[in-house]
Amino acid sequence: MEQMVHSNPLSSSESQTQNELSRVEVQRPSSGLNRELRVWARDLVVALGLAMIIIVFFYQPVKVEGTSMAPLLSDQERIFINKFVYHFEPIERGDVVVFWYPLDRTKSFIKRVVGLPGDEVEIRRGRVYINGKSLEEPYVPSQYIDTAAYGPVEIPRDEYFVMGDHRISSNDSRIFGPVPAAFIYGKAVFAYWPWTQFGSITSVNASESSR
């Protein structure tokens, strides 16, 4: 048997008002969802735009050529460099930097900062000494050590002594001398290709390196 449900009857005006309220209540969720979607889409576009501005103006993609920074960086690897970081913080020992090649400024090199301005740099049997103290370099595998001697030399003001991690195959400050700060235009910060190398490129803290 069909069950009957009773309700209080409404006048015609009350019924019309109730219908309008019902229509408003039914339409409100859809209207609110559309607004939310528009706001979300707008914020997404703004975020993507800001991200592109940051990448274009603050970061630069570069391709590594050669093996002088192996095993940290490999030949043909793609990385991002931060072009403005050294406007806000000093160049530090252990940073991996990109700079104009002092002997040909149409070329760019990527190396690791080993000696700072005012440092005395010496190499004995492949081990680097800074101001007479041995520099711990965990980023240089034993098979990549060059046992040739160098120095001692004092690094001039506003110049940096740079070396590749693959010491045997690296053309660096041992050959072309310290690099002027004005030639250094970026710091390697992130590797994005190949995917197996995807991730940040961290510097070695100077306090952990020297002893």
Which residues are tagged catalytic?
A: 68, 111
What is the amino acid identity at position 175?
Answer: I
Instruction: Examine residue 178 and say whether the peptide bond preceding it is cis (omega within 30 degrees of 0).
Output: no
Helix (H) or strand (E) holding 45: helix 12-58
Write out the DSSP string of 53-95: HHHHHHEEEEE--SSTTTTTS-TT-EEEEESSGGGTS---TT-
Beta carbons within 8 Å of 193's beta carbon, 6+ residues apart: 77, 78
